Structure 1
Amino acid sequence: MSSKTKIFITGATGYIGGSVLERLQNHPDASNFEITAIVRSAQKAEGFKKFGINAVVGSFNDAKLLEDLTAAADIVFDTVDADALEAANIMLRGFKRKFQETGRPPIFIHTSGTGVLADNAAGLKATDVIWDDANANQIEQLPPTAPHRDVDLKITEADKEGYVRAYIIAPATIYGIASGKFVDAGLQNKHSIQLPTLIGASIDRGQAGMVGTGVNIWPNVHVDDVADLYIDIYNAIKSKPDAIGHGRDGFYFGLNGEHTLYDVSKELGRALVALGKSSKEEPTTFTKEEIDKYFNGSNYLGSNSRGLANNSKAIGWKPKKTTKDFLASIQPEVEEILRSNYKIAALR
């Protein structure tokens, strides 16, 4: 009898991670998986154990635990924090240990984001620059100071050294209210960050807002589609490990449509009026004071980030939701946030 595939996942309680975890449990090979998750809450750890997950209480601050869990795994799905450089270094130490013990490079499926492509347009201009995830030479032109880039570079360098095979997924603006058994059990966060933060700020100020004039362009992707991408990459690795790009060739954008910030804020304005939370549909520009208050002084929502998911689609990813679905999701998201009094996380 062959030994089980040992999978370690970070972010199981999160928006992406919980959705990926459910797909792993529904996978045709699930009976051959031994899944371990690191969870901060002891109560939630007990909840995951009821679903057959080996949930360990800890966090990225527990360096030895994180390294040991990584070293014990054949595959790691990292869905927590695209900017957690120290955690990435710790996991890479774990991967090196695994490689030294087995002579086989373990698999690292890491979450970055298309924020790595972002400029400083501040909502005042669009861009014609479009990044292609299948063009490694172009991706390498990204400055090391770009968001998430320091972590991405550490991981691709480790892949180059040969002790890990790394696949970096970069989702766009993720939307949709996550659903599934972990949401129903109260174990998984069902909201994204960007859209709920914009909603929360607009509710508080009594009118939909935008950075600058909102002409900047971003891609978008539904949470179910991006969760599918993680599984499609796993399947491709399993079926044709030498044919799927990794390391410098292993960037996979999760995107399937584009929107301007103005279009999103305008739709948000309609929703706020319909729900009695504003008297005006037209969005207005956030003041500097509001940018400081709601977004920690960052004009990030006013940046441009444009890409092509050619690498992702080449391995069989077939996203279904489009920008039309994104805009249609805004009012239900507002309704859910109002109903649940959801606490909005500030953008960094």
Structure 2
Amino acid sequence: MSAAKTQVLITGATGYIGGTVLQLLLAHPKRDTFEITAYVRNEDKAKKLHELGVKTAIGTYDEGNKLTEAASKADVVFNIANADHLEGNKALLRGLKQQFEITKKAPILIHTSGTGIFMDNAQGESTDKIYYDTNIAEIEALPDTALHRNVDLEVVAADKAGYARTYILLPGTVYGLASGKLVDIGIMNHRSIQIPFLIKYSLDRGHAGVIGEGKNIWPHVHVDDVAHMFIVVFDAVLGPNGQSVAHGREGFYFVENGEYELMDVSKEVAKAFYDLGIQKTPDVKPFTEEEKAKYFGITFLGFNSRGRGDRSRTLGWKATKTKEDFIASIRLDVESLAAELKK
């Protein structure tokens, strides 16, 4: 008699990070030991995922009952859809609690947050403050009002209550144009948010922009390396020593492979704009106060968000993409977005 397969639920399965993770799960060497269910928004995506051997549950994060039901059937949940939808994440946790009450075995939750929890209010100025994923006291000292923090606290509370084992992954600035089967069939977002955000607003004003002097610092990490970290955690917690993998209040894993200053990015955008004839000189012009008001939310690009993934590396994660890869990716984003704008 064959052993029952591990039931895996993934949210955000057609998103930028989630889709990249799903593609790794589909190619996993132990793929025949687990079944994958994707929580998706519509029938069209569901149909295409079925063709890849993925089961689906259809719903949104506003449909809490559907999310609870899907989570209640899962042994492992990759939660990659929305780090800030508090009620949706509570609904997912209720499902995990139901699973625990039935099986008396705590399901695993691999949750996505981000180094945005460390953001200060700088406007292009640098900081020496660096957070480490091994320094739990500093993480716990963060204000409850920090970005993503309210959901993170609910996830940690679930672990403390004993009805789930939780692992929170916190990527920095994720970059790189995603590729693979899900991109090819047209159901996956292939582009990040943060750097394209800067490029789009710079395209709108016709000149590369920056916040203040652009000396503020963020970590960077390629989307493929982020996805690989999810698999590293998945393999570790399902392995023979899974119980010893840090979880709950200690289960924070920063995902980064170096740092950049905002001006590093803005200068590359300016070079690409100049080469493409978008701007007449290869310089960078700070966003004005009027433009900051016009381009809602752009000021966060001028904040600092510094973190080190020591715990992630101790678990065995190794990033392959460097700062050189990050800088090289900026021109590709510019060319891609500029081409879309022309269309």
- CA displacement 1:18-66 (0-9 Å, x = unmatched): 0000000111111122111111122111111111111222111111110
Query: In 2, are the aligned partners of 1:207 and 1:281 still within 8 Å (CA)?
Result: no
- Partner of residue 156, structure 1: 156
The reply to whether residue 10 of structure 1 matches residue 21 of structure 2 is no
- Partner of residue 127, structure 2: 127
Please give the secondary structure, in 2, of the residue aligned with 1:236.
Answer: helix
Aligned ranges for residues 5-154 of structure 1 at < 5 Å? Answer: 5-123=6-124, 125-154=125-154
Query: In 1, are the aligned partners of 2:9 and 2:76 still within 8 Å (CA)?
Result: yes
**How far has the Cα of 1:221 moved from its partner?**
0.2
Query: In 1, are the aligned partners of 2:218 and 2:306 still within 8 Å (CA)?
Result: yes
**How far has the Cα of 1:298 moved from its partner?**
4.8
**How far has the Cα of 1:92 moved from its partner?**
1.0
**How far has the Cα of 1:317 moved from its partner?**
0.3
In structure 2, stretches of 5+ residues that fail to align are none
CA shift in 2, pair 1:235/1:342, >3 Å: farther
Aligned ranges for residues 129-278 of structure 1 at < 5 Å? Answer: 129-239=129-239, 240-278=241-279
CA distance in 2, matches of 1:329, 1:235: 29
- CA displacement 1:176-216 (0-9 Å, x = unmatched): 00000000110100000001111111111111001111110
CA distance in 2, matches of 1:152, 1:129: 21
Query: In 2, are the aligned partners of 1:220 and 1:258 still within 8 Å (CA)?
Result: yes
Q: Which runs of 4+ in 1 moved over 4 A?
A: none
Please give the secondary structure, in 2, of the residue aligned with 1:214.
Answer: coil
CA distance in 2, matches of 1:228, 1:325: 17
**How far has the Cα of 1:164 moved from its partner?**
0.4
CA distance in 1, matches of 2:233, 2:287: 39
Query: In 2, are the aligned partners of 1:215 and 1:262 still within 8 Å (CA)?
Result: yes
**How far has the Cα of 1:293 moved from its partner?**
2.2
| Letter aligned with residue 71 of structure 1 | S
**How far has the Cα of 1:280 moved from its partner?**
2.1
Please give the secondary structure, in 2, of the residue aligned with 1:242.
Answer: helix
**Identity value in percent:** 48
Query: In 2, are the aligned partners of 1:288 and 1:297 still within 8 Å (CA)?
Result: no
**How far has the Cα of 1:74 moved from its partner?**
0.3
CA distance in 1, matches of 2:169, 2:215: 26
Please give the secondary structure, in 2, of the residue aligned with 1:319.
Answer: coil
Query: In 2, are the aligned partners of 1:40 and 1:59 still within 8 Å (CA)?
Result: yes
Please give the secondary structure, in 1, of the residue aligned with 2:242.
Answer: coil
Please give the secondary structure, in 2, of the residue aligned with 1:52.
Answer: coil
- CA displacement 1:209-255 (0-9 Å, x = unmatched): 01111110000000000000000011111122122110111001110
Deviates more, 1:47-56 or 1:2-11: 47-56
**How far has the Cα of 1:342 moved from its partner?**
9.6
Please give the secondary structure, in 2, of the residue aligned with 1:277.
Answer: coil
Query: In 2, are the aligned partners of 1:113 and 1:171 still within 8 Å (CA)?
Result: yes
- CA displacement 1:136-178 (0-9 Å, x = unmatched): 1121111111100010011101111111000000010000000
Query: In 2, are the aligned partners of 1:254 and 1:312 still within 8 Å (CA)?
Result: yes
When normalised by structure 1's length, the TM-score is 0.96
Please give the secondary structure, in 2, of the residue aligned with 1:299.
Answer: helix
Please give the secondary structure, in 1, of the residue aligned with 2:244.
Answer: coil
The root-mean-square deviation of aligned C-alpha atoms, in Å, is 1.3
| Letter aligned with residue 213 of structure 1 | E
CA distance in 1, matches of 2:341, 2:70: 36
Query: In 1, are the aligned partners of 2:256 and 2:309 still within 8 Å (CA)?
Result: yes
When normalised by structure 2's length, the TM-score is 0.97
CA distance in 2, matches of 1:274, 1:81: 37
CA shift in 2, pair 1:44/1:205, >3 Å: same
| Letter aligned with residue 227 of structure 1 | A
Query: In 1, are the aligned partners of 2:64 and 2:91 still within 8 Å (CA)?
Result: yes
CA shift in 2, pair 1:114/1:97, >3 Å: same
| Letter aligned with residue 332 of structure 2 | P
| Letter aligned with residue 118 of structure 2 | L
Deviates more, 1:221-230 or 1:37-46: 37-46
- Partner of residue 302, structure 2: 302
**Paired positions, count:** 341
| Letter aligned with residue 132 of structure 2 | D
| Letter aligned with residue 181 of structure 1 | K
CA distance in 2, matches of 1:258, 1:59: 34
| Letter aligned with residue 15 of structure 1 | Y
| Letter aligned with residue 176 of structure 2 | G
CA distance in 2, matches of 1:320, 1:187: 26
